[in-house]
Every structure is written in structure tokens, then in C-alpha cells.
A and B are shown apart, each in its own frame.
Chain A
Amino acid sequence: MPKVLIIDDSSVMRKIIQRNIQQSGLLVDEFVEAGDGREGLEKAASNDIDLILCDWNMPNMTGIDFVKALRGSGQKNNIPIVMVTTEGSETKIEEAKNSGANGYLTKPFTPEQLKSKLGNFLLVK
């Protein structure tokens, strides 16, 4: 069963994402949380993660720097990453995809939008 890493500096947002996934019927075995990109790298290294959801604007290490660091690390650099962020401009979406993000969802989102986006990476019950 898949393990999902949620990286967001807002604990409330991490809980909302978690709850929406659980209620959507998407199959997830375990959630791992991180409050910034740096902690995200540590959690990705020490866990068998199947999917990463990552905010953009965070203290210490931003989401885009996390994506670049993970993709350039040579280890676990093929885990799918979906950016979940308020950054909604075409420029930022393009930058994220060019840096190695596999999906993009802008906040605020509905549970249906989250399910639709993550359905590309997770199985449904």
C-alpha cells in the first residue's frame, strides 16, 4: 500500500490534504509529514515514499528547491511529485514541471480536484 509524503509549512493544510485523500477513496497506507523542503528531503530519504505532495512557499527550503534537490540527488529521484500551492501562474507551473514535478494543483482546491489530480498516481478503492 502506498506511503504519501506531504510537505507544507501549514499543519492545518497537511491535515486537510490527508483528510481529503482518506475520504476520496484513494488507496494510501500511511502519511508522512514535513514542514519544509529540508525536512522533506530527510523524510524522503528515511522512508519508502510512493508519492510526494509539496507546497511551494515554505521557510528554510522552498518546494521548488526541494524538487530540484531530490531530482538531482541521484537517490529516490523518481518518486512522483505533485506541487500543491497557491502559485498558479503559467511561469511557475512551467518552472515546476521543468524542475521535475509530475503534477500541479493550485490552492484553494476542492476534494474532487485533489482526487482527480492524485488519481494519476494512486489507485482508488
Chain B
Amino acid sequence: MTLESVMETIALDITESTKTLFETMIMMDLKYNESSLVDDTQIKTDVIGLVSFTGKYHGVIALFCSKQFALKVASTMLMTELTGFTSEVKDAIGEVSNMIAGNVKTKLMAQYGDMHLSIPIVIAGEGLSITAVNNHPVVADTTLSCFSKDPWLMTPFISGNEKFNIGLLLKESNK
């Protein structure tokens, strides 16, 4: 199985897990489009919720969204109208990222054995871009960060008038 086909399978798992999460705990309608490879120059976002994983494959699953959408998700989860970008909003985005990655991990473990997930990290700002600096040394062969030079396999989702993306970076370990 090529890395590309593994990534496509995981992207389908991401879509299914995200859909299930939004149907059961966030109660927001969700539509999605086909996944495609996106390089770092095409990414501009306010909020990134990311979880990295290690195992036979290692990588990052990350949610990219606007502050407005993050507020909407947190407000819906807490059933209260949040107006400011508080720590609760970041916590909610971290938990959403964690639940998506966790469910993908369960599916992957059935095929590829034990895997480990990191605690979610949330980065927030305005119009954030990700830049992989040329010739930057690789930190370790078994980890990837959101600053990887590799392209993301990005799945776009639409909820109401808001768009958000779930991205995947993946590499096979010990190669």
C-alpha cells in the first residue's frame, strides 16, 4: 500500500469521525468536499487545533478554522453564547481535535497496531499562516510538526455559512 493510498483511507476516516462528532455532540449540520493536497502557502487560518500521533505511521491531524467558527462550536458544546475568544473556546477546539484524532486512531490501530496520541495543542491568532523554512533541520525522524514542508491532505467541511478544514500530515515510521 502506498503512502498516498494510506493517506486517502485516513482522510475518509477523518471525514467519518468528524461527521459522527458533529452529529452526536456538537449538533451542527455538516457537509464536506473531497480531500486534496494543499501546500503551506495555501493555508491561512485563525485557529489550529492539532494532535500528533506515533506508531507504524506518524503524523499530525489538525483542525483549521476561523475564530468565528471556533466560537460557534464552543458555544454549541457549552450551550451558552460565548462572545470572546476565551480559554474555554481553545479548550473546546482542543477537545474537538482530540475526539476526531482519537476516533481515527481507533480505526488505524485495527490495521496497524498500537499508536500513541499527543495531548491536543491549540494555536490561535488572526490570519495565521504556516511556513516551513527552507533548509531547516529535521528535528527527528519519528515526528512531524505542523511546520513540516510536506503538503497537507486537507478535507474541507461546511457548516452553515462557515467553512473549516481538517488536515493530515503522514509519514511511515522507520523509513
In the bound complex, residues from chain B placing their C-beta under 8 Å from that of A108 are 20-21, 24-25, 99, 103
Q: Is the CB of B98 within 8 A of A57?
A: yes
Task: Report if A116 contacts B (CB, 8 A).
Answer: no
B119 and chain A: residue at smallest CB distance? A59
B108 and chain A: residue at smallest CB distance? A89
B105-124: CB near A (< 8 Å → 1, else 0) gives 11001100010010100000
Choice from A9, A12, A58 contacting B92 with Cβ under 8 Å: A12
Interface of B is mostly: helix
Q: Is the CB of B99 within 8 A of A86?
A: yes
In the complex, A10 Cα to B94 Cα: how many Å?
Answer: 8
State the Cβ distance, B106 to closest chain A Cβ, in Å: 4
Stretch binding the partner chain, chosen from B5-13, B74-82, B130-138, B165-173:
B74-82
Interface of A is mostly: loop
Please classify how large the interface on chain A is, using the bins under 10, 10 to 19, 20 to 34, 35 or more.
20 to 34
Q: Is the CB of B98 within 8 A of A10?
A: yes
Task: Add 18 more A-B contacts to A12-B74, A58-B119, A86-B103 (CB < 8 A).
Answer: A11-B91, A12-B77, A12-B78, A12-B92, A57-B98, A57-B102, A57-B117, A57-B119, A86-B105, A86-B106, A88-B102, A88-B106, A89-B106, A89-B109, A91-B109, A107-B102, A108-B20, A108-B103
Q: Can you sample 12 A-B contacts with CB below 8 Å?
A: A10-B94, A11-B88, A12-B77, A12-B95, A16-B25, A86-B99, A86-B102, A86-B103, A86-B106, A89-B106, A89-B110, A91-B114
Residues of chain B at the chain A interface (Cβ within 8 Å): 20-21, 24-25, 74, 77-79, 88, 91-92, 94-95, 98-99, 101-103, 105-106, 109-110, 114, 117, 119
